[in-house]
Chain A
Amino acid sequence: MCEAGKNIYLPHLATIEEITQETADIRSLRLVFQDERVREDFTFRAGQFAEYSAFGAGESTFCIASSPTRKGHIECCFRAVGRVTGALQSLEVGDTIGVRGPYGNSFPIEEFYGKNLVFVAGGIALPPLRTVIWNCLDLREKFGDITIVYGARTENDLVYKRELVLWQERPDVRLVRTVDPGGDGPDWDGQVGFVPNVLGEAAPSAENSVALVCGPPIMIKFTLPVLEKLGFADEAIYTTLENRMKCGLGKCGRCNVGNVYVCKDGPVFTAAQVKAMPQEF
C-alpha cells in the first residue's frame, strides 16, 4: 500500500488559515496543506480521522470535521484538555501544524442514497456528523428527509452555532436543537431536555431511514433504545467509537475493543457491530 521505506509517521505540514472559538474550550481550525501537491491530491471520506500535531507537544486524534465535498482545506475541532490539545489551542492563524491521515473507515454515504437521514449528536460530538451533514447537503437531491437533533448541556456549549443557523433556515432540513434543563439563556428558542427524550418527541420515521448517532457514551446508551422504539434496526444505526490512539495505522496496540481495531476496522460502526463487541470502550 505504500512506497518501500517510506516513513508512514511523517505528517504533512499545514497552515492554520482560520480559527473559530466554538465554546470557552472548544476550537475549530481550518487548515491548508503547505505542499501544493498534497493540497491537490489529499482526499478523504466522511468519518475518517487524522493525527494532528503541535510540534514539541505531540499528536492527537480527531475526525476530519469538514466535508470531502469542500476542497482545498480541511477542518478539525477539539476541546483543549491535555498537553497536545493545549498546545494546539495556543497556536495562531498562520502557524504550522502537522497532519497525518486520512485513516480508518468511513460512513457508507452511497448506501444512504434515496434514504431519509436522522442525525443525533451531543456536545462536542457534532464534528464527526457535521462532515456527513455537509457531504449530504452538498448532494441534497440524492437523499430523502434530513433531520438533525443536536443538544448540549447549555446554549454556550453548542458548537458550529453559525451553521446551526444555516441548517435551521433551510426548508429541506429539520433541525431540532436542545439544551439540558437550566442550560438555556434568555433568548433560547430551541427545546429543553436530554437528547434521547427530545429525539423521542421529534419521532422521525424509521421507514426507509438511517440514523447516525455521535455523543458521549451515556447519550448513546439512552438514544439506542429510543431509536429501536421508533423502529430503527441495529443495522440502520451508525455511530463512531473514539478509543485512544497513537499510530492510527493498526500497529501501536492501544485502540482495540476485543479483536476489533478502532483505527482500522472503525471508527464507523453500526449499532449491530457495537452490540457484538465486548464492553471495552
Chain B
Amino acid sequence: MVKTITEENLRALIDALLAEGKRVVGPHRESDVILYAPLGAGSDFAADELPRRSAKETLFPLCESILTYERGKDGAKITDVEPDRFPETVLVGARPCDAAGAPILDAVFSWDYDDPFYLERRRRTTVIGFACTAADSACFCTAVGLAPDATKGSDLFLTPLEGGGYRCEAPSAQGEVLLGAHAGLFAERTAAEPLPPARPAVDGFDLPRLKAWLDAHFEDPLWAEIAARCAGCGACAFLCPVCHCFDIVDEGGENRGARRKSWDACGFGKFTNHASGHNPREIQPQRFRNRVMHKFKYYDDKFGQTLCTGCGRCIRCCPVGIDLVEVLEQIQAEG
C-alpha cells in the first residue's frame, strides 16, 4: 500500500496521535541540536538532519528503574515496576540507521530470557521511518548492508517528494493499521517523484571477509595500533543505535530507593574488573578490540547479524578522531 501525505497532514497526524494519548517521539530541535525527544505537538517535528543521538532510548532508556525497595523493621520489601504498563508509542521520523536498530536489538533482548523492559516497549511502539536524502562524510549505512531508503524496522516509511510532502509505504501490518486508522490524512499516490536517496561515500564492506579476519586475529598488533588513541570515554557506545551493554545499580538510601538498569560501555576501564582486582581487559586496546569484535563477529556468531547500522555517530563524536570506517578498511586490507 503506497499513499502520500502532505507536510501539514504529517504534523496533523502527530497531533491526532497525541490526542489519542499516545507518546510520540520524533526529531525535535533543542537550541542548535536535533534530538529524538517526546513531541508536544506536530509543530515540534524537525526532520532536517540526522539527530545527534540515536533513537534507541525510545526502547531502551539511558537509565530506568527495574524495582524499588524499602527496608524497615520487619525486613525488606520490593515493588515491581510492571513493564506491561508502558505507554503506546509512535516513533516518527526515525532515520533508516535508527529504525534498523530495533530488529537487531530484538535478538539479544529476547534470546532465552525475555527482557520485558525492552520488549514491552518494543511491542507498544510503531515506527515511522524517514528516508535520508542527504548524507555527511561519516554516514556509511550502505557499507554495512543498509541504505538511506531501507525500510528495515519501519512500520510506515516516508520518502520526501519533489515539491514537498511524502510518499508513504506500509512495510508492516502494524503500519497498515496506523495508516488505516488515520486514512483521512493520507491521499492516493500522485505523479510527484520521490527525492533521490542520499549517497554515502563509503564503499560496501565485504562483511564475511572482515569477519573471517576477526575470527583469526584476536591477537594482532593491529589492535594496539588502532586503539592507541582511544581515551575510553564511551561516547561511541552511548550514541550507537545498537550498543546495549548495561549496568545494574541500587540508587537511594539504605531504607528506600530503586534498582536501576543504566547504559554502560565495554570501553570503560572498570567494565570487566573483578572483585579481586584482576581485570581480563586491562588495557584500552583489549577493550577497543571487544567493541569491534562484538559488532562484527560475536553478534554475528550468536545471532547472525552485524551489530552496526552505519549511522556514523561514533565517527562524528569521537574526541580523538577514531574513524570506524578507517578501522574496518584497515582490517579489510589486512584480510
Contacts and interface: CB of A to CB of B under 8 A. Distances in A.
Interface of A: 1-2, 4-11, 13, 15, 34, 53, 55-60, 79, 81-82, 85, 94-98, 216-217, 242-244, 246-247, 249-259, 264, 278-281
Nearest to B298: A259
A237 B167 CA distance: 63
Interface string B203-223: 000000000000000110000
A56 B255 CA distance: 7
Q: Which of A10, A13, A34, A81 has the largest count of B CB atoms less than 10 A from its CB?
A: A10
* Secondary structure type dominating chain B contacts: mixed
Nearest to B244: A253
Given A243-B280, A244-B274, A249-B112, A254 B245 contact: yes
A251 B302 contact: no
A242 B274 contact: yes
29 contacts: A2-B114, A8-B114, A8-B116, A9-B67, A13-B76, A13-B78, A55-B76, A55-B250, A55-B259, A56-B71, A56-B255, A59-B248, A81-B275, A82-B275, A95-B75, A98-B76, A217-B278, A244-B273, A244-B275, A246-B247, A249-B115, A251-B109, A252-B264, A253-B244, A253-B245, A258-B293, A259-B302, A278-B218, A280-B281
Given A9-B248, A13-B78, A251-B244, A81 B67 contact: no
Contacts of A58: 248-250, 259
Interface residues on B, range: 35 or more
B286 A56 contact: no
Nearest to A252: B246
A56 B266 contact: no
A8 B113 contact: yes
B75 A9 contact: no
Given A55-B71, A58-B249, A259-B301, A4 B275 contact: no
Given A13-B76, A253-B246, 7 more contacts: A8-B114, A56-B71, A58-B259, A59-B248, A98-B78, A246-B264, A259-B293
Contact of A6 (B76, B112, B116, B271): B116
B113 A250 contact: yes
B115 A251 contact: yes
B298 A256 contact: yes
B120 A5 contact: yes
Nearest to A94: B75
A264 B71 contact: no
A222 B49 CA distance: 58
Contact of B247 (A79, A216, A252): A252
B254 interface: yes
Contact of A246 (B83, B113, B248, B273): B248
Interface string B103-144: 000001101111111001000000000000000000000000
Would you list the 9 A-B pairs with minimal beta carbon distance, nearest first?
A253-B245, A96-B76, A5-B84, A55-B69, A96-B75, A259-B298, A278-B218, A249-B113, A259-B301
Contacts of A95: 75-76
Given A79-B275, A251-B108, A56 B248 contact: no
Contacts of A246: 246-248, 264
A258 B302 CA distance: 11
Q: Which of A7, A8, A53 has the largest count of B CB atoms less than 10 A from its CB?
A: A7
